[in-house]
């Protein structure tokens, strides 16, 4: 699967549903940390774009969502 496709087609809908149905229902001032699928995560010296078009359940630059990005390279 190409970089970003899994984020856009699987993770973004899942995270958005989680934000709406769990976080917002329990606390309007929530902060949700979410992650992209690291592809590849083998430290090939290449930075790939995420597939997210907006934070889960939020608009861009929202205080409710934080992209927690990392890699497992050496």
Mean of pLDDT over the chain: 83
Query: Phi, psi (5° rounding) for residue 34?
Result: -135, 160
Q: What is the tens place of the pLDDT at every residue in 4-38?
A: 889 999 999 999 999 999 998 999 889 999 998 87
Q: What's the CA gap between 11 and 17, in Å, rounded? A: 10
Q: Cα–Cα distance between 45 and 22 in angstroms, integer?
A: 37
> What are the residue ranges spanned by the domains of the chain?
5-67
Tokens at 60, concatenated: 């861009």
- In this prediction the pTM is 0.77
């Amino acid at each position: 699967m190409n970089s970003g496709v899994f984020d856009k087609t699987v993770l973004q809908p899942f995270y958005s549903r989680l934000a709406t149905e769990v976080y917002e229902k329990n606390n309007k001032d929530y902060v949700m940390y979410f992650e992209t699928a690291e592809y590849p995560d083998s430290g090939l010296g290449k930075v790939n774009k995420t597939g997210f078009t907006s934070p889960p359940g939020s608009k861009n630059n929202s205080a409710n969502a934080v992209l927690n990005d990392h890699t497992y390279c050496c």
